[in-house]
Amino acid sequence: MSIRVIESLATTEPLADVFSDRSILAAMLAFEVALARVEARFDVIPREAADAIGQAATADFFDAPELARETLRAGTPVIPFVKALTEHVRSVDPNAARFVHWGSTSQDVVDTAFVLLLKQALPLLEADHLRIDVALRNISEQHRDTVMLGRTLLQPAPPITFGLKAAGWRAAARRGWARIASRFSEALILQFGGASGTLASLGDKGIAVGEALAEELDLLYPDAPWHTHRDRLAALVAACGVATGSFGKMARDISLLMQSEIAEAAEPGGDGRGGSSTMPHKHNPIACSLTLAAAHRVPGLVATFLSSMVQEHERGVGGWQAEWPTVTAVVQSTGLAAASMAEVAEGLVVDPARMRANIDATRGNIFAERVVMMLGTSLGRDAAHQLLEQATRQSIAQNRRLIEVLEQIPEITRAIPLDVLRELDTPEDYLGSAKEFQKRLR
């Protein structure tokens, strides 16, 4: 398990493994081995040298803590990494050691290695998105006729269906994933430019080597190196921020629905999930909490990356060095939010009876808008609104159904027959286009 305790509420175990020291080293070695193999193919370095580099390139050889200490002094992990790799190659073939990292530069290794890690993260994010999509589709269909309170500014409003609410969550998640997938397709791209981004050290073979290297690593090949052009990664980071915000909205809704005073829906619990260290009765919204924490954390990280885009000339000072931990944290937070909400969606407990009871508890006051609209043509909207405002206050103060109050107001009974008036607080009859919207969000 690669998760550090301090990061245990900020990532998933699979994503922690993707960005672990061992994975980073493996990705950097993959770049160096592929580079040597391709350069040998184009007679840039001897084939024997490429074979020796491939033989020596094992992650187990490296001392990750020592590499981290030396990285802090060097300002890049590649300098101590290449030094250690060269020494190991020398032990296999002394002549081959001088061809390690041939024609490349530190940022080529770091950027390409990180892109390879992102490539590993992509299917993990996709799998949890698919879980969310399937679960919310099922919930939306199952509860397309389940009426519940609409809530505006946290106060009761005219009814909606839970199917519509779930469909809204699903649609936002689908849009979020479409953005992320699109941005990943742009960001999974080779970085290979050499010292100044011209591959001058490779003469007229630079582009051919670069194209073959991209093919070897199964990455896109750019029109030119992108050392200080970070827009592709920025777009991915921003897309992750939007998606995490959408997961956070879903988590906020469900955590509010879980409040004991509401009790309309709840995330799954049990087996230590959602308990309290002191209160045995508690069922806390833990998965929602983790998602909300991610949604709070990611916007600042997105801003950090956007500010780091302002990089100098052909190689940046400070901005580039800020990216690795920033993008890692964004992707891991997005992944944690997706995994958490997949768990919630797949195990969500919904209580339609409680939803109906909470509608009834308003004593029909949420249908005041409906009465206003019916009276508008005869009394005028402003006069009708004022009349219903007084009536709802009386209903609340006297703990009576709004309809009972309205039956005693002549201006209303003259405009609305009693048999019609007495049916105006039936929630199924005041859903407007809710079902059609729910269908359109499929």
Same domain, 100 and 212: yes
Q: Which residue has the tokens 């690669």?
A: 2
Residues of the chain with pLDDT under 50: 276-277
Same domain, 337 and 279: yes
**The pLDDT value given to residue 59:** 87
Is residue 401 helix, strand or coil? Answer: coil
Residue type at 349 in one-letter notation: V
Same domain, 33 and 100: yes
Same domain, 50 and 111: no
* Residue 2 within a domain: no
* Residue 90 within a domain: yes
* Residue 6 within a domain: no
* Residue 438 within a domain: no
- pLDDT single digits (tens) 112-139: 999 999 999 999 999 999 999 999 999 9
* Residue 110 within a domain: yes
Q: Look at residues 333, 353, 373 and tell me which one is the last residue of a structural domain.
A: 353
The catalytic position among 276, 307, 378, 433 is 276
Q: Is there a catalytic annotation at residue 440?
A: no
Same domain, 59 and 74: yes
| DSSP states of 255-303 | HHHTSTTT-SEE---BTTBT--SS-TT----HHHHHHHHHHHHHHHHHH
Q: Is there a catalytic annotation at residue 151?
A: no
The total number of structural domains in the chain stands at 3
Region of residue 378 (phi > 0: left; psi between -120 and 50: alpha; otherwise: beta):
alpha
Q: Look at residues 290, 320, 353 and tell me which one is the last residue of a structural domain.
A: 353
CATH code where residue 288 lies: 1.20.200.10
Q: Look at residues 300, 327, 353 and tell me which one is the last residue of a structural domain.
A: 353
List the structure tokens of 350. Answer: 């919904």
Same domain, 302 and 331: yes
Work out whether the CA dihedral 79, 85, 87, 90 comes out positive or negative.
Answer: negative
CATH code where residue 409 lies: 1.10.40.30
List the structure tokens of 184. Answer: 């990943």
The catalytic position among 90, 252, 315, 354 is 315
Same domain, 179 and 132: yes
Helix, strand, coil share (%) of the chain residues, nearest 5: 70, 5, 30
Same domain, 251 and 348: yes
Same domain, 251 and 344: yes
Same domain, 56 and 180: no
Q: Domain residues for 381?
A: 365-424
**Do the beta carbons of residue 297 and residue 333 sit within 8 Å?**
yes
Same domain, 208 and 238: no
**The pLDDT value given to residue 269:** 76
Same domain, 255 and 320: yes
**The pLDDT value given to residue 379:** 86
* Residue 359 within a domain: no
* Residue 87 within a domain: yes
